[in-house]
């Protein structure tokens, strides 16, 4: 069974949802400036970027799947670092 269409749709959904959450978080930061919320917005932005970069690479083809998996893991590690910083920021 070919899952490429489902995979493309999943990454597109992640990108759109991440972008929506990023916009909401940025609007919250503009209303009430907070370093923690800014870090959360950055984390959501990384999720949106992951969906765009990895999903776009899958859609366009030609990229090695193991490289895309590695790239996805890097994005997720960056999100974890940003969210950790958001929890320990003062």
Number of structural domains (the chain) is 1
pLDDT given for residue 56 in this prediction: 87
pLDDT at residue 1 is higher than 60: no
- Pseudo-torsion of CA 22, 66, 2, 4, nearest 10°? 30
Residue-wise pLDDT for 40-90, tens only, equals 999 999 999 999 998 888 888 878 889 989 999 999 999 999 999 999 977
Q: What is the pLDDT of residue 16?
A: 94
Rounded CA-CA distance 49/35 in Å is 21
Say whether pLDDT at 4 is over 80. no
Structural domain span for residue 17? 4-88
Mean pLDDT for the stretch of residues 16-34: 94
62: left (phi over 0), alpha (psi -120 to 50) or beta: left
């Amino acid at each position: 069974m070919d899952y490429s269409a489902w995979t493309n749709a999943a990454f597109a959904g992640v990108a759109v949802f991440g972008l929506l959450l990023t916009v909401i978080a940025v609007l919250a930061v503009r209303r009430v400036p907070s370093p923690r919320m800014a870090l959360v917005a950055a984390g959501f932005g990384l999720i949106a970027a992951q969906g765009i970069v990895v999903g776009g690479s899958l859609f366009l083809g030609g990229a090695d799947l193991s490289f895309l998996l590695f790239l996805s893991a890097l994005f997720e590690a960056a999100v974890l670092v940003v969210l950790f910083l958001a929890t320990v920021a003062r």
